[in-house]
Amino acid sequence: MKFDKNSVIGFVLLAGLFLGYFYFTRVGQLELEEKQKQIRDSLAAIQPVIKDTAAGLAIDANTTRLAPKGTPGSFVQEGAIEEKKSVLENDLVSITFSNKGARPVAVQLKKYVSADSQAVRLVSGGFNKFSYLINTGANQTSAISDLYFSTAEVTKNNAGELLLVYALKDSAGRSIEHRYTLKQGEYMFRLDIASEGADKLFTNNTVNFLWQVQADQQELDIQSEKRETQLGLYGEDGFDYFTMSDGLNESWEKGIKWLGVKQKFFNTTVIADDGFKYAEISCKVPEDSLKVVAQTMANLRTVFPASNKANIGLQFYVGPNDFSILKKYKLDMEDMVNLGQGFYAFVKYINRWIVLPVFSLFEKYVSSLGLAIALLTLFIRLATSPLVYTSYVSGAKMKALRPELDVLKEKLKDDQQAYSMEQMKLFRTAGVNPLGGCIPALLQIPIFFALYSFFNSSIALRGEAFWWSKDLSSYDAVLTWSFNIPGLGSHLSLFTVLAVITSLLISLYSMSMTPDQGNPVLKYMPYIFPVMLLGIFNGLPSSLTWYYTVSNVITLVLQFVIQNYIIDHRKILSQIQENKKKPREKSKWQERLEQMQQTQKKVQTMQDKVKKK
Residue 192, pLDDT score: 95
Residue 308, pLDDT score: 87
172-201 mean pLDDT: 91
- Look at residues 52, 177, 170 and name the one whose alpha carbon lies nearest to residue 102: 177
Q: How far apart are CA 110 and CA 371, in angstroms?
A: 27
pLDDT 10s digits, 283-315: 888 888 888 888 899 999 999 888 888 899 999
Assigned fold of 47-77+84-337: Beta-galactosidase; Chain A, domain 5 (2.70.98)
Which has more pLDDT, 87 or 516? 87
Cα–Cα–Cα angle for 110, 148, 53, rounded to 5 degrees: 90
Residue 520, pLDDT score: 56
pLDDT over 60 at 31, yes or no? no
Burial degree of 299 (CB within 10 A; 0-12, 13-18, 19+): middle
Q: Which of 179-188, 318-327, 604-613 has the lowest mean pLDDT?
A: 604-613
pLDDT above 90 covers a percentage of the chain that reads 31
- Look at residues 215, 251, 248 and name the one whose alpha carbon lies nearest to residue 35: 248
Q: What residue segments make up the domains of the chain, in order of their start? A: 5-27+348-582, 47-77+84-337
Q: Please provide the average confidence, as pLDDT, over all residues in the chain.
A: 77
pLDDT over 60 at 583, yes or no? no
Q: How far apart are CA 387 and CA 30, in angstroms?
A: 37
Q: Are 398 and 513 in contact (CB under 8 A)?
A: yes
pLDDT over 50 at 62, yes or no? no
Query: How would residue 38 be classed by pLDDT, with cut points 50, 70 and 90?
Result: very low
pLDDT over 50 at 498, yes or no? yes
Query: How would residue 460 be classed by pLDDT, with cut points 50, 70 and 90?
Result: very high
Residue 42, pLDDT score: 39
Question: What b/e sequence results for 395-405 when a residue is b if at least 16 CB atoms lie within 10 Å of its CB, and e otherwise?
Answer: bbbbbbbeeeb
16-28 mean pLDDT: 52
Q: Which of 230-234, 266-270, 445-449, 458-462 has the lowest mean pLDDT?
A: 445-449
List, in sequence order, every beta strand (DSSP E) within 172-237.
175-182, 188-196, 206-216, 230-235
Question: What b/e sequence results for 193-211 when a residue is b if at least 16 CB atoms lie within 10 Å of its CB, and e otherwise?
Answer: bbbbbbbbbbeeeebbbbb
Residue 438, pLDDT score: 63
- Look at residues 489, 488, 491, 459 and name the one whose alpha carbon lies nearest to residue 472: 459
pLDDT over 70 at 449, yes or no? yes
Q: Which of 73-77, 146-150, 327-331 has the lowest mean pLDDT?
A: 73-77
Q: How far apart are CA 188 and CA 317, in angstroms?
A: 4
Residue 415, pLDDT score: 64
Which range among 176-180, 484-488, 524-528, 589-593 has the greatest average pLDDT?
Answer: 176-180
pTM confidence score: 0.76
548-554 mean pLDDT: 91
Q: How far apart are CA 16 and CA 8, in angstroms?
A: 12
List, in sequence order, every beta strand (DSSP E) within 433-531.
477-485, 489-493
Instruction: Assign residue 366 a region (left: φ > 0; alpha: ψ between -120 and 50; beta: otherwise).
Output: beta
pLDDT over 80 at 431, yes or no? no
Which has more pLDDT, 444 or 123? 123
Residue 578, pLDDT score: 61
pLDDT over 80 at 231, yes or no? yes
Q: Which of 12-21, 294-303, 532-541 has the lowest mean pLDDT?
A: 12-21
Residue 612, pLDDT score: 63
